Amino acid sequence: MIPKETGFRMRGEFSEHLGTVMIFPERPGSWPYGAQPALPAFRKIWEAITADEQLFLIVSPAMRDKAQSMVQDLERVTLLTIPQNDAWARDTAPTFVSAPGSIMGINWQFNAWGGDYDGLYTDYAEDDALAPALCEMLDIPVFDAHPFVLEGGSIHSDGNGTILVTESCLLSPGRNPSMTKDEIADMLCRCLGGSKVLWLPRGIYNDETNEHVDNVCAFLRPGEVVLAWTDDPSDPQYPLSCACLEYLESVTDAEGRRLTIHKLPIPAHPVCITQHDLDGFTFAEGEDTREVGERLAASYVNFYFTNHSVLLPQFGGDNAESDAQAVRLMQAWCPDRRIVPIPARELIVGGGNIHCLTQQIPAISCVR
């Protein structure tokens, strides 16, 4: 493990970044119609990131020319050619930890969100090899946490020693079935410089990652979280969010603080797969498929902090009012940042959202 005396820890995402890692989309089982419907949203994310910090954009050899043409007018973009299986940088890129003057990447084992038990695709060798390849390119030391299975979207940190996760994900039989809950918590604390793990019981309804925490709850700053919410008892999300609220109200963080909890309503109208969406996919053998009417895990909590902004999902259509409400609430809770609305429907058709597609690299000077 990483010795505690080194001072390495996972900083809060709201802390200063050196830059952000993303991956150019191309997997036909995730991105219908050659990712063309999703690319405008990717472009808006790239623009927002490069307004504030460096973007490290990973591309496959086949996509390098296309990616280059899409970012050539943007400053602060570095293209890195690394083979990979899909675009979810949060889950396949390293989790970066830092100490004064140093950064390290943690290379978790990746098994496509469940491996043989309930993984979403069977060929994920390139995804599992991505983290050390990226660290080598960026000249960042890497700590190999294999065979511990973890995705970056399943953890949040307040930078002060508190790690936030969901039981539904980390205790899934497809992750680390031979480990107890306490052993998993100990592993997280030793790798991330944490001292306390908070275990939310559930995540977002129908989230195919076994309910990653980054879709249901996130830190705005130490001692303060935002929680996906609905007031509708008939919505399947209602009991999940209520269980999370009850838990959060009962615990303290690593520094003994009671949490301030902000409720961020989910879209008022479910976002679902259409026949047009379905017609654009090409699924590989053994890959999880989709169906018309399938409810997608739409949540405004899957936002991303840059150095000066919050990139906030927007779902459009019948959810225009919900979108506007999310912007107003996040601006009130983050008054020192710009709120950048990002059209995200085509992103969740792919299976994730803005936070799932991004991974921050903390600034070397970062201390919180």
Catalytic residue annotation: 356
The residue among 60, 197, 201, 218 whose CA lies nearest residue 153 is 218
CB 148 within 8 A of CB 110: no
Measured CA to CA, the distance from residue 93 to residue 196 in angstroms comes to: 24
Burial class (CB in 10 A: 0-12, 13-18, 19+), 83: middle
Structure tokens at 67: 């990616």
3-state secondary structure of 246: helix
Tell me how long the chain is: 368
* CA 319 remoteness from chain centre: 22
Rg, C-alpha atoms of the chain: 19
Count of beta carbons in the 10 Å neighbourhood of residue 155: 25
Q: Across-strand partners of 149?
A: 109
Distance CA(243)–CA(89), nearest Å, equals: 29
For 82-223, where are the E strands, in sequence order?
A: 95-99, 102-109, 142-149, 156-157, 162-166, 196-200, 217-221
Alpha-carbon span 288 to 19, nearest angstrom: 32
Adjacent-strand bridge partners of 4: none
For the chain, report the end-to-end CA distance as a whole number of angstroms: 21
